[in-house]
Amino acid sequence: MTVSSLLWVDWKLAGRQMRRESAVRLVALYLLSFGFLVLLCSGGTNRFLSGYWTVTALLRPGVSDEEGEGLAEKVAALPPVKGAVYRNPEQAWEEFSGRYPGLEPLRSGQGSPFPGYVEITLRPDRLSEERMEEVLGALRPLPQVETLLSGGEAMPRLFRWKAIANGILRAGFVFLAFLLFLGFVYQERGRSVLLGADFLFLRDRGVTGRRIASGRAAGAALTTLFLAIAASVVAAASLLWLSGRFHAVRTVVGPPGELLDPVWIVPIVLYLLSAGALAGVASLLGGRTASPSEGK
């Protein structure tokens, strides 16, 4: 027998058990894939913070709407910037009076007591103290800008807590993946014990334990790769549905359109290949644990 003919030996010898185990793996991979996609698209806490933590450039009196809009366009072209919106003095007053009604007497004459401003949001994947300082550095020399509001002393503390929170989320994902890997090893070990007599039969007829182990590992990797693809498709569809239906999900993960961005293709492919590779390693470890002589 060749290695290729041993790819599906477990399916041939224990088809019913393989179907049960594959169903369990599909559910586990769905949960892992869902968590992976959430972390990938959200950047942990990055997307949530980028929607609420903004840089506001207060403009000097006398800056025209054309200058304000032109400034917003130039700022929006900076690499770390996701969006920049200009609000003229009248719009600034309307926003303030809408939030705090009953303050109309504060307005004297026909003018607005507030200056125009440009509100700037950073891209979730560029949300860092260095990138924010890059934007601030580009705005400070501009004659139209009077004051920059970026959080002041709270900004370094925010980014420090952001890094801690993101580290905890990523560690949680790694721990979940490790538990899944242990589950794979346990499944492979139990099946190796069950099929021990069949593998002994093959070894007695000239099929070495190394060839059996490599064939089974390749088969486990391919099977899990197919399961991971199916689980990821269902997880992506679930996330798209949730993002389109619930504002909280859009805030944390992103709008549905951004989830289809081609930029995610490479990390998703690497994730799928990693799932298959881990299953192959689990097959080797599980078979060796069950039968130490299998590799001879």
The pLDDT, as a whole number, for residue 295 is 42
- What are the structure tokens assigned to 91, written together? 């719009």
The per-residue pLDDT of the chain, averaged, comes to 86
Query: What is the structure's pLDDT at 250?
Result: 87
Query: What is the pLDDT, as a whole number, of residue 2?
Result: 56
What is the distance between the alpha carbons of residues 43 and 126, in angstroms, rounded to a whole number?
10
Residue 260 has pLDDT above 90, yes or no: no
For residue 107, what pLDDT is reported?
57
Task: Give the pLDDT of residue 289.
Answer: 60
**Rounded Cα distance, 181 and 178, in Å:** 5
Select, from the ranges 21-35, 120-134, 137-151, the one with the highest average predicted confidence (pLDDT). Answer: 21-35
Are 177 and 32 in contact by the 8 Å Cβ rule? The answer is yes
Q: How confident is the model at residue 7 (pLDDT cuts 50, 70, 90)?
A: confident
How far apart (Å, rounded) are the C-alpha atoms in residues 77 and 84? 9
Q: Which residue, among 259, 270, 283, 278, has the nearest Cα to 42 in the 3D structure?
A: 259
